[in-house]
Structures are given as C-alpha cells and as structure tokens.
Amino acid sequence: MILTFNPDKYKELLTAYLPKLIKSEAEKSVGFVCVAATSSRPASNKLDFSNIL
C-alpha cells in the first residue's frame, strides 16, 4: 500500500487550521481527536472539524 496525499487538500487544511504550539494536555487531546477523526473516515471534498472542536 502506497500512502499518498492530495497537495490541494493539505494546503486547504493548513490555510484553515494554521499549526500552533500545543501548550496544554487539553489542547493535545483535541489534536489527537482531530487526527483520529480524519484518519478513520474516507476522504471527502470538504474539511470540517466543527463537530469535534
């Protein structure tokens, strides 16, 4: 299995959710939830984290 990513979707993600320093355990937990939510579902045309943030 070859892992690939869509550069346009990655750019859209970085534009919408700029990387930041994680300062607390709570922020770390939210990050893990976001990663788990996006890695366990099929790819879509829209990035939407409003239901988990």
Q: How far is CA 48 from the centre of its chain?
A: 9
What pLDDT sits at residue 25?
95
What pLDDT sits at residue 11?
86
Which residue positions in the chain have pLDDT lower than 50?
none
pTM of the model: 0.43
Print burial letters for 2-37: b (CB count within 10 Å at least 16), e (below 16).
Answer: eeeeeeeeeeebeeeeeeeeeeeeeeeeeeeeeeee
What pLDDT sits at residue 28?
92
Question: Which helix (H) or strand (E) is 42 found in, with range?
Answer: none
Q: Are 49 and 34 in contact (CB under 8 A)?
A: yes
What pLDDT sits at residue 18?
76
What pLDDT sits at residue 1?
58
